[in-house]
Amino acid sequence: MKILKDVKLKPLDIIILAVLVMVSFFPLTLFANSNTVPNQVIVRAHGKVVKTLELSVNQVWTYKDNGDYNRIQVKDNKVRVQEANCRDLIDVKAGWISKNGQTLVCLPHSLVVALTGNGPVKQDGKVVDYQ
């Protein structure tokens, strides 16, 4: 408490602090998840797109590279890494993802599974528009 008494804030300091607090919430509004429904699964390995899967089609696809593998399952508009032979299995343990912008990452295999879409925009559970 003695430190707070020793600090002498000037009016400009208070304005700067208030602006910094407001600016700190800007990324939240900028990157907030939109109401766009994902319709694609993009699979990237080593930074390059290796496969695009439709989210509406139930399927299983296996990524293979030099003995490494990740089995990716798409079911009921959700996706997961069903099985992999990496050490930590973080991507498998993450389970199902279904929201636009969500990702599953396997660092040992340099694999990223991301949901994306220019699907229908929903508002109050009803389709409003297609992007």
**Longest CA pairwise span in the chain (Å):** 65
Average pLDDT of span 49-53: 92
pLDDT above 60: residue 121: no
Model confidence over 67-93: pLDDT tens digits?
A: 999 999 999 999 999 999 999 999 999
What are the backbone dihedrals phi and psi of residue 87, each rounded to the nearest 5 degrees, phi first? -70, -50
Distance, CA of 59 to CA of 77 (rounded, Å)? 11
Domains and CATH numbers, the chain: 40-130 (2.60.320.10)
For 10-23, the pLDDT digits (tens) are 888 889 989 999 88
- Asked whether the beta carbons of 43 and 51 are under 8 A apart, the reply is yes
Residue (of 40, 36, 73, 42) closest to 56 by Cα position: 40
